[in-house]
């Protein structure tokens, strides 16, 4: 699961790096950022590496290859190069996935979750009181009874369940369940939260923290 997983961002574009650090920190990840390949190789091994191939000091593919030789971290290449040959070289060097810039935050978070699921088999079920959220199968149960949720309802619940008790702002949830470029009315979230509460049926499970957002509480 995402909670407490560590992510190392290797990116020399500071504006892109700042956006990634902010988004992933909001998502409950422990985030570190470096600019060069040499710095990346000096860091302790994280759970996930977001690796740009265009680095100021060395070839990103070489960094990928060295990381893979020493670490089981999930390596996601993020680059402006989208040609098939570039993908093949990176994947052959040990990358687990390949994203071409620009990409949506929602897609990035989904790919990170998928990479972590592959790396951590059996650690896919988040439990909180009577609630069980299986992030691999996207199934939800309350007191052992499976609950049918829409994809958006599941994404919202997963966002809250990854760090129970932590208040998630409306914007955080929208950026996670919709997209980082969501500019629509935030009231759409209230509709989905109301539907979630009705389906889950556990009073007090999803709490409103007025002026701040929502969190999972003690049912």
Task: Quote the domain boundaries for residue 52.
Answer: 6-119
Q: Looking at the structure, tell me whether residues 129 and 92 fall in a common domain.
A: no
Q: Looking at the structure, tell me whether residues 91 and 147 fall in a common domain.
A: no
Determine, yes or no, domain membership for 27.
yes
> Which of 119, 134, 151 lies at the terminal end of a domain, its last residue?
119
> Which of 119, 148, 169 lies at the terminal end of a domain, its last residue?
119
Q: Looking at the structure, tell me whether residues 38 and 66 fall in a common domain.
A: yes
Q: Looking at the structure, tell me whether residues 135 and 113 fall in a common domain.
A: no
Determine, yes or no, domain membership for 26.
yes
Residue 111 in contact with residue 47, Cβ under 8 Å? Answer: no
Using the predicted structure, report yes or no on whether residue 194 has a pLDDT greater than 80: yes
Read off the tokens for 96: 């687990």
User: What percentage of the chain exceeds 70 in pLDDT?
Assistant: 90
Q: Looking at the structure, tell me whether residues 107 and 189 fall in a common domain.
A: no
Using the predicted structure, report yes or no on whether residue 122 has a pLDDT greater than 70: no
Determine, yes or no, domain membership for 219.
no
* 199-204 mean pLDDT: 85
Q: What is the CATH number of the domain that holds 188?
A: 1.10.10.10
Q: Looking at the structure, tell me whether residues 130 and 114 fall in a common domain.
A: no
Q: How many CB atoms lie within 10 A of CB 27?
A: 24
The pLDDT, as a whole number, for residue 23 is 86
Q: What is the CATH number of the domain that holds 89?
A: 3.40.50.2300
Q: How many CB atoms lie within 10 A of CB 56?
A: 9
Q: How many CB atoms lie within 10 A of CB 191?
A: 10
> Which of 64, 93, 119 lies at the terminal end of a domain, its last residue?
119
Residue 124 vs residue 189, higher pLDDT: 189
Ranges 34-38, 127-131, 152-156, most confident: 34-38
In SS3 terms, 4-18 reads as CCEEEEECCCHHHHH
Using the predicted structure, report yes or no on whether residue 8 has a pLDDT greater than 80: yes
Q: Looking at the structure, tell me whether residues 192 and 104 fall in a common domain.
A: no
* 135-162 mean pLDDT: 89
Residue 209 in contact with residue 215, Cβ under 8 Å? Answer: yes
The pLDDT, as a whole number, for residue 60 is 92
* 65-70 mean pLDDT: 92
Q: Looking at the structure, tell me whether residues 85 and 31 fall in a common domain.
A: yes
The pLDDT, as a whole number, for residue 182 is 52
Using the predicted structure, report yes or no on whether residue 1 has a pLDDT greater than 90: no
Residue 163 vs residue 90, higher pLDDT: 90
* 44-61 mean pLDDT: 93
Q: Looking at the structure, tell me whether residues 207 and 108 fall in a common domain.
A: no
* 198-207 mean pLDDT: 88
Contacts of 12 (CB under 8 A, 6+ apart): 35, 36, 52, 54, 55, 56
Count how many domains the chain has.
Answer: 2
The pLDDT, as a whole number, for residue 63 is 95
């Amino acid at each position: 699961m995402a909670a407490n997983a560590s992510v190392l961002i290797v990116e020399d574009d500071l504006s892109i790096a700042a956006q990634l650090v902010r988004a992933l920190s909001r998502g409950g990840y422990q985030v570190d950022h470096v600019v060069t390949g040499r710095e990346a190789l000096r860091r302790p091994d994280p759970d996930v590496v977001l690796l740009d191939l265009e680095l100021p000091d060395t070839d990103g593919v070489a960094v990928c290859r060295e990381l893979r030789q020493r670490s089981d971290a999930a390596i996601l290449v993020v680059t402006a190069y989208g040609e098939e040959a570039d993908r093949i070289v990176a994947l052959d060097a040990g990358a687990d996935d390949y994203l071409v810039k620009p990409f949506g935050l929602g897609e990035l978070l989904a790919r990170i979750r998928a990479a972590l699921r592959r790396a951590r088999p059996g650690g896919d079920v988040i439990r909180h009181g009577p609630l069980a959220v299986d992030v691999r199968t996207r199934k939800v149960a309350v007191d052992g009874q499976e609950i049918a949720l829409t994809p958006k309802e599941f994404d919202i619940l997963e966002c809250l369940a990854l760090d129970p008790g932590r208040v998630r702002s409306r914007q955080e949830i929208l950026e996670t369940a919709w997209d980082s470029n969501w500019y629509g009315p935030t009231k759409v979230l209230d509709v989905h939260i109301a539907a979630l509460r009705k389906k889950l049926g556990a009073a007090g499970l999803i709490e409103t923290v007025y002026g701040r957002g929502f969190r999972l509480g003690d049912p």
